[in-house]
Amino acid sequence: MRLVSLSCCLALCVALVTAEAVQDKKESQVESKQIEQAESQKTEKRGLHHSIGDFGGHDFGGHDFGGHDHGHEHHHEHVKTITIEKKVPVPYTVHKHVPYTVEKKVPYTVHVPVPQPYEVIKKVPVHVKEYVKVPVHVPQPYEVIKKVPYEVKVPVDKPYEVKVNVPKPYEVIKKVPYDVKVPVPQPYEVIKKVPYEVKVEVPVPKPYTVIKKVPYEVKEYVDKPYKVFVDKPYPVEVEQKYPVVVEKKVPYEVKVPVDKPYKVEVEKPYPVHVKVPVPKPYEVIKKIPYTVEKPVPYEVKVPIEKPYPVYKEVKFPVHKEVPYPVKETVHVPIHLPEHHEEHHEVEHHDHSEHHGY
């Protein structure tokens, strides 16, 4: 589109330049004709002046008006030269500035709301098996190949001795369990989550508007009672019972006549000789895929996805409850014998007398 507009502008400029050059040429021709006509008029006047003669020289009307040397003295006349410059139009290139709109792309930041965490949908190719129903010709009768196991005698040489190097003494690795002591800090910190009530303040407008529905009687204006005409009496259909015959099925024995006993053919197994082919080595052609490097004469652009944030789970310490022994004092009553109690009372009495109580 831009090339077409530029070509049109250049064609208009060339047409304008050629028109201006033709107009300048015509004007210069008219000017030259006018100058030639003026020169021809001047030369005619000069001829008349010389034909009359010289009236007293060039000082016409001076003190030598009736000169005695009339026609004998030679005067040098000043000739006036007029140079005419003619401008010949020559085609030349004119560079004209034609303004045109130029679209300039100005980059600016576009804020797009991105949800956090950002969901990344990655397309993973999945192999899907499609079952296509293809008609298969089955010959009739159908051939059934049954594999019958049989003994195959393989010729083996005489038994030969096989020497196996066993180190002596033979190393036996036996796994012995042992206690592993894990250092546990005392006292052990147990983190227990205790639920507690959290009061959330709900903003309530004051005074609080309470909408209460109060039932009230609504009076509907009804016209005066009007007469309803009912046909009296009117026929009423009454269902009458009538006898119905119901068939009741009674089971009874039915004797079916059977012919004399007849022979039934039973299939008996019989030996079948099957020719079993002897396995022989055969050639198997297996296709192995391999990479073939092919040079490409042009640059191949591989689409790369924009970097996306990857959220990784940060492992945090988990407090595990581990039981540990705790020493607690338990009060156990001890029953003492009676004589020991009496001795203790006597000692206590002596002690009180000694202190003067």
User: Across residues 276-293, what is the average pLDDT?
Assistant: 85
Q: Can you give the pLDDT at residue 266?
A: 84
Residue in 91, 117, 113, 114 with CA at minimum distance from that of residue 18:
91
Q: What percent of the chain has pLDDT over 70?
A: 81
Fill in the DSSP letter of residue 207.
S
Whether 56 contacts 77, CB under 8 Å:
no
Whether 20 contacts 28, CB under 8 Å:
no
| Measured distance CA(121)–CA(115) in Å, rounded | 14
In the numeric block, which tokens belong to residue 303?
A: 């689409």
Fill in the DSSP letter of residue 125.
-
In the numeric block, which tokens belong to residue 356?
A: 């003067």
Whether 33 contacts 116, CB under 8 Å:
no
In the numeric block, which tokens belong to residue 162?
A: 């096989």
User: Which pLDDT tens digit goes with each residue over 75-119?
Assistant: 667 788 888 888 888 898 999 999 999 999 999 999 988 888 888
User: Across residues 333-357, what is the average pLDDT?
Assistant: 56
Q: Can you give the pLDDT at residue 148?
A: 92
User: Which pLDDT tens digit goes with each residue over 214-249?
Assistant: 999 988 877 777 777 877 777 888 888 889 889 889
